[in-house]
Structure 1
């Protein structure tokens, strides 16, 4: 069965909405994690949202990742301590 131009446009629009929703979800997750870490006195130096393929625009993303960046050993220890307390508690 051939795809009609209308169906192609509808599918493309649906895919773009789905991709934007994935990026929006990842941004919300990043913000929630940053806020929780801040309340625990921890700040990671770089947190952002990325799509796994650099050539993709946000409205074409197959999925989005919360990138936590790199942190110093003391920050990693503080993060481990907070997680361990939460897991025990």
Structure 2
């Protein structure tokens, strides 16, 4: 595989990884009753020959921000369903 092809493959893998992260975040947050409506892969960070994709968490309304704070506080205090990533 020539160097250019290899770089393209690596770049495509990075973008796919970022897209997968967005899907996982959306699903995980939805399971906690939180929706970040602008959650996405930042398209500008994917431009160019060697993209460095960023996940844009976006903006949300106050109710969503407060719900996210509530979920984080529950997890921190151990009241969450599964604690710190451990199975329930």
Which structure shows the bigger proportion of residues in helix conformation?
A: 1
Runs of 4+ in structure 1 over 6 Å off: none
Root-mean-square deviation over aligned CA pairs: 2.0
Please, which runs of 5 or more residues in structure 2 have no aligned partner? Answer: 79-88
* Gapped regions of structure 1 (runs ≥ 5): 1-8
Deviation at 1:62, TM superposition (A): 2.6
Do 1:51 and 1:62's aligned partners in 2 also have CA atoms closer than 8 Å?
A: no
Relative contact order higher in (CA < 8 Å, ≥ 6 apart): 1
Q: Give the length in aligned residue pairs.
A: 78
Larger Rg: 1
TM-score (norm 1): 0.75
- Aligned-pair CA distance for 1:61: 3.9
Counterpart of 1:72 in structure 2 is: 61
The TM-score with structure 2 as length reference comes to 0.75
Shift of 1:38: 0.6
Q: Are positions 1:40 and 2:29 aligned together?
A: no
Name which of 13, 21, 28 aligns with 1:29.
Answer: 21
Native 8 Å contact 2:45 2:54 kept in 1: no
Counterparts of 1:67 and 1:50 in 2: how far apart (Å)? 5
